[in-house]
Amino acid sequence: MQNIRNIAIIAHVDHGKTTLVDKIIHATSVFRDNQESGDLIMDNNDLERERGITILSKNISVMYHGTKINVIDTPGHADFGGEVERVLKMADGVLLLVDAFEGPMPQTRFVLQKALELGLRPVVVINKVDKPNCRPDEVHDKVFDLFYNLDATEAQLDFPTFYGSSKQGWFNTSLEQTEDIFPLLDGILEHVPAPEAKEGPLRMQIVSLDFSSFLGRIAIGKVIQGSVSESEWIGLAQEDGKIVKGKVKELYVFEGLGKKKVTEVKAGDICAIVGFDKFQIGDSFVDLENPQPLPRTAIDEPTLNMTFSINNSPFFGKDGKFVTSNHLKERLMRELEKNLALRVEPTEDANTFLVFGRGILHLSVLIETMRREGYEMTIGQPQVILKEIDGVKCEPYESMVVDVPEEFASKVIDLATQRKGDLHIMETKGEMQHLEFEIPSRGLIGLRSQMLTATAGEAIMAHRFVDYKPFKGAIPGRSVGVLISKSQGPATEYSIAKLQDRGKFFVDPGEEIYAGMVIGEQNKPNDMVVNIVEAKQLNNIRAAGKDKDGNIAPKILFSLEECMEYIQGDEAIEVTPNFIRMRKKVLSEEERKRIERGAKA
């Protein structure tokens, strides 16, 4: 067992995890010399490559000096903490990657805390020492303080540190540049303990799953005790305590970027088992004669919820393949199997489901994935989950860190305090101001886009969930109203030009719109219904092209997350494979007025 090492790479978003994994893959010659590989090898789905973040944890294995190193690449964003919490169970050590300029960030703290609680042995890697203004020694001291604050053990506090640059492909125990990353790989062999080879009946927990159209569902996990062989009859211990008997049809271990078929896997190695269909993440494979299931992973509670319902706009079914409530329900149930931090509850309306998640990004990635698969749906405004603790109404709070140029610091503080945020730390980092706030999760919804506007796009913002604390009262929402379409049809240049002084538009001339759709932002606080499908009436004197108005401002383009943060309680988002449209929940103007009168009465 001495020749296996299981390591997880953890870090804040954008600190260079996936680039480091690329360098490990290249340094250990996983690819042939003439084989094309490209960059960000592990971020292999389209959404990860587009956003430049890791969303799903992945396994690879490399051989170095006769030792097999199983590497687990984990997400860095706290919204995907559910992924991190379960896959860390496969590791015996962690590589904590920290940016030499930014130092430990909120999500560094989040994933490190989970690793230390599991008793994993840390190796600290200070990355990007080639950046200007970097401060590796100061960052090293901050990492030590972070370990101390997280109640690390004496052994964990005695962590080895490596310095270098993933991009340039070198790491060393000092700041002296080397030719390659072999000093880091030597450090992994030296400092990360080999997995314990526990004798006894089989114990293996399923922490991840895969699917193959040939093999069906594949269970992935680390064999904690005993061994498992191909064609062996074993038990699957489920959540309700039942043990289901089944046969191991095929058995795989990870090799390079793929899997290799084997006949037996012993304790300490990570493997994939084929042969069981009805399993969930958290279930255990056990010996039939002496079953000893492993305790299930406790996942942090979700903090946000949103309604997912069928698309009921006039453009229903024009764009997507999956449009019914049954399609929606089946897809959400399928997501629950692998997305542990997600929860789905039915509502009184059979066409609507309440979906709970870790944050805006967590839910938007699910919506974006479903939309690309051909689903149409209507999404409601994100709401934070309130709890009653000891008779007191409480809400989730987050720690928010903002790095911003000094001249914009006062604007950031003003925006955060308007949303009930308290400033705890203010210090100078090079040319930047480093600000730390404690703020209700409600206050974060819509804050990022406001902050980027106020700081000319210079603010770098990150946050993580802290705890539930007493409710802080009303938080001001959107300060302006919206422009709502009065009728259905293509938007005309003539009508948009006439209404330019009323606000900014979200649609271009020629775009198909419908009554009740949000088509722009009003300059004033109230909503306004406008007709932008009206065409110019031409008579026999005027020439058709004479009055073309070329002074129309370009439309404001919103991403899915920006739409989720922008809408109010009476609004929704229509999501289809090719369009994202904001709309009023009640499309009819008369109906909206009737509801308003009823609310006042």
Rounded-to-integer distance, Cα 190 and Cα 115, Å: 19
pLDDT, mean over the chain: 83
Rounded-to-integer distance, Cα 4 and Cα 188, Å: 11
* Closest C-alpha to 266, from 203, 211, 321: 203
Range of lowest pLDDT (346-350, 410-414, 459-463): 459-463
Residue 521 burial class via C-beta count within 10 angstroms: exposed 0-12, middle 13-18, buried 19 and up: middle
HEC secondary structure over 334-380? HHHHHCCCCEEEECCCCCEEEEEECCHHHHHHHHHHHHHCCECEEEC
Kindly tell me if the per-residue pLDDT of 394 is higher than 80.
yes
- For 315, half-sphere exposure in the C-beta direction (CA atoms, 13 angstrom radius) is 26
- Joined together, the tokens standing for residue 296 give 């299930």
Dihedral of the alpha carbons of 362, 69, 293, 283, in degrees to the nearest 10:
30
Q: Please, which pLDDT band fits residue 41 given cuts at 50, 70 and 90?
A: very low
Give the β-pairing of 243-247 and 250-255: unpaired
Q: What confidence score (pLDDT) does residue 53 get? A: 55
- β-partners of residue 465 are 398
Q: Model's pTM, two decimal places? A: 0.75
The residue ranges of every structural domain in the chain are 4-191, 203-286, 310-379, 387-470, 482-600
Distances (CA, A) of 521 to 379, 501, 507, 515, 593: 20, 11, 11, 16, 20
Tell me the pLDDT tens digit for each residue of 430-456. Answer: 778 889 999 998 888 888 878 888 888
Q: What confidence score (pLDDT) does residue 514 get? A: 94
Q: What confidence score (pLDDT) does residue 376 get? A: 93
- Joined together, the tokens standing for residue 291 give 């079953």
Tell me the pLDDT tens digit for each residue of 301-345. Answer: 788 899 999 999 999 989 889 899 999 999 998 888 777 778 899
Q: What percent of the chain has pLDDT over 90?
A: 23
CATH number of the 387-470 domain: 3.30.70.240
Quickly count: other Cβ atoms within 10 Å of residue 27's Cβ. 16
Rg (CA), the chain: 27
Rounded-to-integer distance, Cα 362 and Cα 360, Å: 6
User: Binding site annotation covers 131?
Assistant: no
Kind and range of the H or E element at 211?
Answer: strand 208-212
Q: What confidence score (pLDDT) does residue 581 get? A: 94
Kindly tell me if the per-residue pLDDT of 150 is higher than 80.
yes
- Strands in 170-172's sheet, in edge-to-edge order, are 58-64, 67-73, 4-11, 93-99, 121-127, 161-165, 170-172
Backbone CA torsion sign across 140, 145, 146, 151: positive
* Closest C-alpha to 77, from 45, 39, 109, 125: 109
* Closest C-alpha to 108, from 94, 92, 119, 128: 94
In CATH terms, the superfamily for domain 4-191 is: P-loop containing nucleotide triphosphate hydrolases (3.40.50.300)
CATH number of the 310-379 domain: 3.30.70.870
- Counted residue by residue, the chain has a size of 601
CATH class in words for 482-600: mainly beta
Q: What confidence score (pLDDT) does residue 80 get? A: 59
Rounded-to-integer distance, Cα 370 and Cα 328, Å: 9
Q: What confidence score (pLDDT) does residue 74 get? A: 75
DSSP secondary structure letters along 263-300 = SEEETT-EEEEES-SS--TT-EEE-SSS--PPPPPPPP
Range of lowest pLDDT (103-107, 153-157, 233-237, 452-456): 103-107
* Closest C-alpha to 96, from 63, 120, 78: 120
User: Binding site annotation covers 129?
Assistant: yes
* Closest C-alpha to 208, from 353, 75, 311, 401: 75
- Joined together, the tokens standing for residue 258 give 């793929």
Kindly tell me if the per-residue pLDDT of 173 is higher than 60.
yes
Domains 310-379 and 387-470 share a fold: yes
Which carries the bigger pLDDT value, residue 368 or residue 102? 368
* Closest C-alpha to 107, from 14, 8, 9, 13: 13
Q: Which range is most confident: 12-16, 255-259, 500-504, 547-551?
A: 500-504
Quickly count: other Cβ atoms within 10 Å of residue 65's Cβ. 11
Query: Are the C-beta atoms of 304 and 357 separated by less than 8 Å?
Result: yes
Give the β-pairing of 432-440 and 422-429: antiparallel
- Joined together, the tokens standing for residue 545 give 């092209």
Rounded-to-integer distance, Cα 517 and Cα 117, Å: 49
Q: Please, which pLDDT band fits residue 398 given cuts at 50, 70 and 90?
A: confident
Tell me the pLDDT tens digit for each residue of 474-485. Answer: 887 778 899 999
Residue type, 381: Q
Residue 394 burial class via C-beta count within 10 angstroms: exposed 0-12, middle 13-18, buried 19 and up: middle
* Closest C-alpha to 295, from 226, 234, 224: 224
Q: What confidence score (pLDDT) does residue 483 get? A: 93
User: Binding site annotation covers 26?
Assistant: no
Q: What percent of the chain has pLDDT over 70?
A: 90
Query: Are the C-beta atoms of 291 and 243 separated by less than 8 Å?
Result: yes
User: Binding site annotation covers 14?
Assistant: yes
- What's the average model confidence in pLDDT over 23-33? 66
User: Binding site annotation covers 466?
Assistant: no
- Joined together, the tokens standing for residue 408 give 């914009």
Kindly tell me if the per-residue pLDDT of 215 is higher than 50.
yes
HEC secondary structure over 112-144? HHHHHHCCCEEEEEEECCCCCCCCHHHHHHHHH
Q: Please, which pLDDT band fits residue 543 given cuts at 50, 70 and 90?
A: low
User: Binding site annotation covers 125?
Assistant: no
In CATH terms, the superfamily for domain 203-286 is: Translation factors (2.40.30.10)
Give the β-pairing of 203-205 and 208-212: unpaired
Within the chain, what is the greatest distance between any pair of CA atoms?
A: 96
* Closest C-alpha to 123, from 20, 39, 197, 13: 20
User: Binding site annotation covers 130?
Assistant: yes
